[in-house]
Structure 1
Amino acid sequence: MQHEPNETKETKKVSLTLYIASLVIVLLVAVLGTVWMLNVVQSSSDETVSDTNSEEVDSVLDSEEIASSADFRPLEEVYSILMTQYLEEVDSDTLIQGALTGMADAVDDPYTTYLDEVESSSMNEDIEGSFEGIGAEVMKEGEYVRIISPIAGSPAEQAGLLPNDLIAEVDGESVAEMSINEAVALIRGPQGSEVKLLIVRGDNEFNVTITRDSIPVESVVYELDAENPTIGYVHITNFNRPTYQELVDAIEALEQEGAEEFIFDVRGNPGGLLDSALQLSNVFVEDGEPLMQSQGRDEEPYIYTANSDQLGEFKFDKDSVLLIDGGSASASEILAGAMSQSADIPLIGQSTFGKGTIQNVLDITGDGEIKFTAGKWLTADGTWINEEGIQPDIEVEMPEYINLLYIDQEETYATGDVSEEIQNLEKILDALDFNVGEIDFTYDEETEAAVKSFQAENELEEDGVVTGTTSRTLIDRLRELIEENDTQYDAAVNYLLEN
């Protein structure tokens, strides 16, 4: 979760004389960002952190003292040696970029990173709510890229990727030594292009080829429950600039259609902007009641309270529940905490992801930005949920087959094959009510017969072999089965009907 970035920036050419200044500024923004993060949330998304006040001026002076006490001579020496004595000619900008990246990496925080011009532009696209890629929130974890959550309706979700899946390779290239920005740059790409990922899920590995797409701008989708038209369903897929108004529009539209009770859903929502999380939380909480707390380094917690003047006048007070799961992270957890602790709205599902830190984004000299962890956030009652998550009031698990592995459409599975992939295939067929006999690792005659039955039912070539179209259709039918048997959603409907 992060504050909105500074939208106005000066473009400067980095020279040798600015090298040390660049490094000093990186130190300065850490203090500036902490102070800014603790200020009351901005009422307009067009405001930027360049509007300074006396506290920020004091912070600059303090930061200058810190920077002046540091010994930058080793940096100057290494820079000079590499520029003048290295075997081949070295570009000065490359050395500066490397130093900035290394400084950000040195704090050993997956959410702190230096962003060059391209990466900065890419992040701003995310905040605006649209970009081209596979559609998944990710973070670096050791030698892998961990999926926090695939975005609803994205190619990543349609391919069967799940929260906590680990990406080991992108198009055959290991991500072990890559920064998160380098890995994301490989994963993203133009709409219609393909990317092949090696996924680690538990003790299993499998390849998945995903066709990139334009990820929808819309962050709120809604509908009436088909069997209970007085229940409205609102799925919040992200927290970006338009989300507050989209939520208000969704609630008002459903109320006009006759909705009297609501199911709100942040499952699989990886988070987004802090301002958006506060605005949405404010919808459900009475003015003056706490929404969340934030805490910077060496500071006492600052309590954010519901405030219609600053966060929006729309208020919601009908009976409702909120669905959460392991893919609900960051801003989703702020909303869940506020709804649960300050609005007494039940949480249904499974424990959330557990991301309790706040990131800030500030410009630095040149064309880049620094994204860094500026503080931690606490729930309304002062609980830090980092790496713990928020527990549901009513715990409901999804069917086991939601965790079955993706079938690689480029591979061919046939009679006589023995592997863990065959066991996974048999589990999928079994979940779809096709008799495979004993579920084991062997593609035997019973497995072949089950495949032929599946192919006949779906008007495919009945050759008993799983590859290409048969693999894709199996995944499509499994996805439909999961959607039709959403046990968490069903529990939410039953709760509203019974209470």
Structure 2
Amino acid sequence: MADKKKHRSIQIPAWLLGVGLAGGLAAGGVIGYAVAPVTQQQAATVVTGVPKELQSVVTTYATIQASYYKNVKGSTLANGAISGMLSSLNDPWSELLVTDDKADLDSTLSATFGGIGATIQDTGKQLLIESIMPDTPAKKADLQVGDQLMAVDGASVVGKSSSEAVAKIRGKVGTKVKVTIKRHNKLMTIEMTRAKITTDTVASALSPETKKVGVITIATFSEPTANQFEEAVKKLRKEGATSFVIDLRGNPGGELTAALSIASMCLKDGKTIVQIQQREGDPEIDKASEKLDGGFKVTEPLAVLIDGNSASASEILSAALNESAGVPLIGQQSYGKGLVQNVASLSKSAEIKLTIAKWLTPDGNWINKKGLTPTKKVAYPAYATINAISATSLKPEDESSDVRNMQQILTALGYFKGTTNGFYGPTTESAVKAFQKAEGLTQTGLADQKTITQLMGRLSAKFQSDDPMMKAAVELAGKE
């Protein structure tokens, strides 16, 4: 998996972007992967004989099983051997996925999971039901927004993170789960049957700048993404959009088929989308066609937003629209991942993700470790990289990175003019009081949970309002 710390470009915190998607979909934050169509989830090759080169591996396995001073599961040794072979490739994208990692990738690619259809908000003190999807077990059981989550199957989740609670709630479709909530100081335990939940990978809205431009944000590419993109275009057309911005910032990639379908929708039939170059032979060229897009076409002017975390399948889509249709790319240099993976099933609980090819842009460029260069480069505002405040409260005399983050937020919002040194001194206290006064909060000078939440919300709103990349893209799309 890619190491996020090695990115060339800044990474904008998800809390600041506030796109309102089930984003974390991208394999738990995995950057840059494209899973090849057709061969996805095919069975791994069955070996009927042991090659000479593997005789020593088999001998080592047998020796350990017979002589090691402790019992070792055969599956543990086998997985170790597989991981070793994949590691020898020196390819961060090829790896063994077992149990939870396998389930994470599978649910990411399908954008589905077994659950109850409710999202959970972690306030720092409580886990609250934040939203409920229609026609889901949570809706039918009359869960309500604001209910406090107390336990799952009798095990307390008080003090746990939202991700820990979600992991307990999710499970196999058709199985039962008991959720204990607190509503108006009354405890209630509700039993629900987990159902197949499909997450949204696409969000859409008319631009606040001009109602003639529709903005479509794609968080990742999964099985339902192409259909969700088509529905977004139809909805925005009805609302008056005559051009579109496709926002791929922070999109780590995903299922290649979805990216191909969306590219085909936006290109004339016969135009090249991507070239897939395997180890031998000529490149396989994918072109726009009714087979890929079902006859649905986007003929309106387009602009595409990219940044340093736009990778793999999102780069394939961006390059296709740019080189085959002249669609402008706005933002920052993309990640630069020009390889394609195939997922091969080993068992019910294990699979390998293996790099099987490299992909080239329509013009034959390999952008691996280089990325796509925007047509128009636009930087994020300096405050866009401020980290979220993880503490539930801060007080005078505290000294920490969270205090520094708060000082940076207060500075960006115009309340703090001191040194952002991470020390909660009198200047910081005065700035907190000024912010509390402006927000109608009690002016204590203490940064309690409500103050911190409001601070982060205000900075997110400021970014949504400022967003120089989006403004540039909307302007370009609207002029086409």
1:264 corresponds to which of 227, 246, 250: 246
Q: Quick check: 1:191 aligned with 2:166?
A: yes
> Aligned runs of 1:79-98 on 2, under 5 Å?
79-98=61-80
Q: Which amino acid aligns with 1:434?
A: Y
What secondary structure sits across from 1:336 in the alignment? helix
CA contact (8 A) 1:220 1:235 kept: yes
> Aligned runs of 1:166-315 on 2, under 5 Å?
189-191=164-166, 217-315=199-297
What does residue 445 of structure 1 align with? 426
Partner Cα distance (2:285, 2:395) in 1: 57
CA contact (8 A) 2:332 2:377 kept: yes
TM-aligned CA deviation for residue 250 of structure 1: 1.4
Partner Cα distance (2:120, 2:251) in 1: 12
Q: Which amino acid aligns with 1:251?
A: V
Partner Cα distance (1:216, 1:472) in 2: 29
Q: Quick check: 1:472 aligned with 2:453?
A: yes
CA contact (8 A) 2:303 2:474 kept: no
What does residue 180 of structure 2 align with? none
CA contact (8 A) 1:396 1:488 kept: yes
1:389 corresponds to which of 371, 374, 390: 371
1:462 corresponds to which of 432, 435, 443: 443
What TM-score do the two structures reach when normalised by structure 2?
Answer: 0.71
Q: Which amino acid aligns with 1:380?
A: P
2:408 corresponds to which of 420, 424, 427: 427
Instruction: Label 1:437 to 1:279 Cα distance change in 2 as closer, same or farther (>3 A).
Output: same
CA contact (8 A) 1:412 1:467 kept: yes
Instruction: Label 1:282 to 1:420 Cα distance change in 2 as closer, same or farther (>3 A).
Output: same
2:53 corresponds to which of 67, 71, 75: 71
What secondary structure sits across from 1:71 in the alignment? helix
CA distances 1:331-384 after superposition (whole Å, capped 9, x unpaired): 110000000000111111111111111000112367522211111111111111
2:304 corresponds to which of 310, 322, 328: 322
Partner Cα distance (1:310, 1:468) in 2: 49
Instruction: Label 1:440 to 1:95 Cα distance change in 2 as closer, same or farther (>3 A).
Output: closer
CA contact (8 A) 2:212 2:478 kept: no
CA contact (8 A) 1:132 1:190 kept: no
CA contact (8 A) 1:266 1:328 kept: yes
Partner Cα distance (1:333, 1:302) in 2: 18
What TM-score do the two structures reach when normalised by structure 1?
Answer: 0.68
CA distances 1:422-444 after superposition (whole Å, capped 9, x unpaired): 44332211111113344445433
Instruction: Label 1:226 to 1:365 Cα distance change in 2 as closer, same or farther (>3 A).
Output: closer
Q: Which amino acid aligns with 2:414?
A: D
Higher relative contact order (CA 8 A, sep 6+): 2
CA contact (8 A) 1:282 1:312 kept: no
Partner Cα distance (1:429, 1:48) in 2: 49
Instruction: Label 1:437 to 1:310 Cα distance change in 2 as closer, same or farther (>3 A).
Output: closer
- Structure 1 runs of 4+ off > 6 angstroms? 153-156
Partner Cα distance (1:77, 1:489) in 2: 60
CA distances 1:256-308 after superposition (whole Å, capped 9, x unpaired): 22211111111121111111111111111112221111111233322222122
What does residue 356 of structure 2 align with? 374
> Aligned runs of 1:397-408 on 2, under 5 Å?
397-408=379-390
Partner Cα distance (2:350, 2:425) in 1: 57
Partner Cα distance (1:94, 1:438) in 2: 53
What does residue 335 of structure 1 align with? 317
TM-aligned CA deviation for residue 403 of structure 1: 0.5
CA distances 1:6-31 after superposition (whole Å, capped 9, x unpaired): xxxxxxxxxxxxxxxxxxxxxxxxxx
CA distances 1:104-129 after superposition (whole Å, capped 9, x unpaired): 22322221112234433332211111
Residues matched between the structures, number = 381
CA contact (8 A) 1:132 1:189 kept: no
CA contact (8 A) 1:409 1:469 kept: no
What does residue 436 of structure 1 align with? 417
Partner Cα distance (1:401, 1:154) in 2: 27
CA contact (8 A) 2:265 2:297 kept: yes
What secondary structure sits across from 1:191 in the alignment? helix
Q: Which amino acid aligns with 2:361?
A: T
TM-aligned CA deviation for residue 401 of structure 1: 0.5
What does residue 138 of structure 1 align with? none
Partner Cα distance (1:154, 1:234) in 2: 25
Q: Which amino acid aligns with 1:455?
A: Q
Q: Which amino acid aligns with 2:460?
A: R
TM-aligned CA deviation for residue 188 of structure 1: 5.8
What secondary structure sits across from 1:313 in the alignment? coil
What does residue 124 of structure 1 align with? 106
Partner Cα distance (1:330, 1:187) in 2: 29
